[in-house]
Structure 1
Amino acid sequence: MTIERRRAPRLRSLLGGRVSFNQRNSTLDCVVRNLSEDGALLLLSDAVALPNAFDLDIPRQQRSCIARIRWRDGERVGVAFETQAAAGIVPLDMARRLKQCEQDNARLKSRILQLTEAG
């Protein structure tokens, strides 16, 4: 019998996922077989070479996170999710999108103010 070392229980799932690495230039589809707050079990082709850490997107859960490989056995890959504090670095594309959204927000607020003053 093995000792359970996970902090949060895993729930069985059958979700589609996407693994991204190489600055999101390389992507692979995967199946998420179980999922928790802290990690997941992924099914991937065993021929695929993966970096130790990569981005994992699970569209049906509207979830995106940085995953770090904890173990691998053929097609099965156990990953732990990095917390935002542990990740430390914000991807450049996300920082650019945030800046663009902030600029759009300021522009829209200005336009709303103009329209309410004119009306």
Structure 2
Amino acid sequence: MSILDETSEQRTAPRRRALVAARISYGGGSVTVDCVVRNISETGAKIAISEGVTLPGHFEIVIPQMNVVHRAELRWRRGGEAGVAFLDAGEGEPRAEGAAPATQAGTPSEAALKARIRTLEAEVARLRERILELGGGF
């Protein structure tokens, strides 16, 4: 992973301003962290994230409002902001909520389906924990 200075212009695509809720997922989907996309392009984004959160070099970023999921690489981090490069640039096209990315034949790839299953399993575990915290039971 190469951490680049935010001021050095390394972008290959123009970015658009944004203020969109997103979620970072890693550890096989077992860890999720909320963040906000501040600007975005076809090849990457700048996100706002709590300063106390440690990010791995590679993770998945889910942007529900845009109906996309990208595999991403951390490129730089400064305080509560970070720059990420999309490793699947061009593949993270809009799709139906919860759908996996399509292969050339139009069917979800096996890797994409496995990643989505891991994300959903982590979400179910998180929701179960929340129900228990609220005094509910199974």
TM-score (norm 2): 0.60
- Point out where structure 1 has 5 or more consecutive residues left out of the alignment: 97-119
Aligned residues: 92
Greater RCO, 1 or 2 (C-alpha within 8 Å, sep 6+): 2
Counterpart of 1:77, as a letter, is A
Q: Match of 2:33?
A: 28
Question: Identity, % of aligned pairs?
Answer: 42
Deviation for aligned residue 1:94: 4.5
Once the 2 structures are TM-superposed, how far is the Cα of residue 21 of structure 1 from its aligned partner?
0.5
Q: Which residue of 2 aligns with 1:90?
A: 111
Q: Which residue of 2 aligns with 1:76?
A: 81
After TM superposition, the runs of 4+ consecutive aligned structure 1 residues lying more than 3 A away are none
- Provide the residue aligned with 2:45 in structure 1: 40
**Larger of the two Rg values belongs to structure:** 1
1:101 is matched with none
Distance in 2, matches of 1:21 and 1:83, equals 16
Q: 1:83: Cα distance to partner?
A: 2.1
1:63-106: per-residue Cα shift (whole Å, max 9, x none)?
1011100000011010000027xxxx92562487xxxxxxxxxx
Unaligned runs of 5+ in 2: 1-6, 90-109, 118-138
Which structure is higher in strand share? 1
- TM-score (normalizing by structure 1): 0.69
The RMSD of aligned alpha carbons is 2.3
CA distance in 1, matches of 2:114, 2:58: 18
